[in-house]
Amino acid sequence: TRIDPMIESTPVIREAIVKKRTLEGGNTTRLKLFPGGSLNVGNAGSITDLISSPKRIAIGDEIDEWPDDLSGRGDPWTLLLKRLRTYPNAKAVAVSKPSIKGRSKIESGYLSGDQRKFFVPCPHCQEYQVLVWSQMKWEKNKQTKERDVWYECPRCKGKIKNYHKELMLKKGEWRPTNPRRTSKRVRSYQISSLYAPVGWTTWE
């Protein structure tokens, strides 16, 4: 429901993927062939999917929802990482909303890395900062009954409105915030829905 529409709506990807209903095969719900590689879609609850053929790149989606142990074989993410051992230039990407603090798999991964956060400039004073909930402000207009919502810059106290984000995001940059990371091989990223682009969920 997500991969096929993405392929169909992106011409450069659509042209690379083997067409459906051809004698070549290689374009099914769980397998997409393209020159130089393939995309395999697996299930975190399936031992077969997690320990089959070697892969150079592995992406785990919503890993906080994965089981802690799979049929006594261990945690699925560790099983998936074992598939990368064949390749010296392997890469693993874990993505998830965090669940329970202290038990979250993605939190553990984030803390072991360089903890990159997205810094954006204030449209008034240009101070780069990480957007945090404590700087969100709002008040209700007594006449119109509408709520005025803004983000207050901690430096200049300027009012940043939701529409300002378009330019702020364009000028934003990821910066590591953890010089004492436990692994120099792990880049970790965190971003909140406060950064949702204009047209998505608004601050209002």
pLDDT tens by residue, the chain, 204 residues: 888 899 999 999 999 997 765 555 668 888 999 888 899 999 999 998 888 889 999 999 999 999 999 989 999 999 999 999 999 999 999 999 999 999 999 999 999 999 999 999 999 999 999 999 999 999 988 787 788 999 999 999 999 999 999 999 999 999 999 988 777 789 999 999 999 999 999 999
pLDDT of residue 24: 56
CA 118 to chain centre: 12
Here the tokens at position 125 are 């004073």
What global pTM score does this model have?
Answer: 0.82
How far apart are alpha carbons 7 and 20 in whole angstroms? 12
pLDDT of residue 201: 92
Half-sphere exposure (CA, 13 Å, Cβ side) for 128?
10
How far apart are alpha carbons 85 and 8 in whole angstroms? 33
pLDDT of residue 77: 93
Cβ(56)–Cβ(73) under 8 Å?
Answer: no
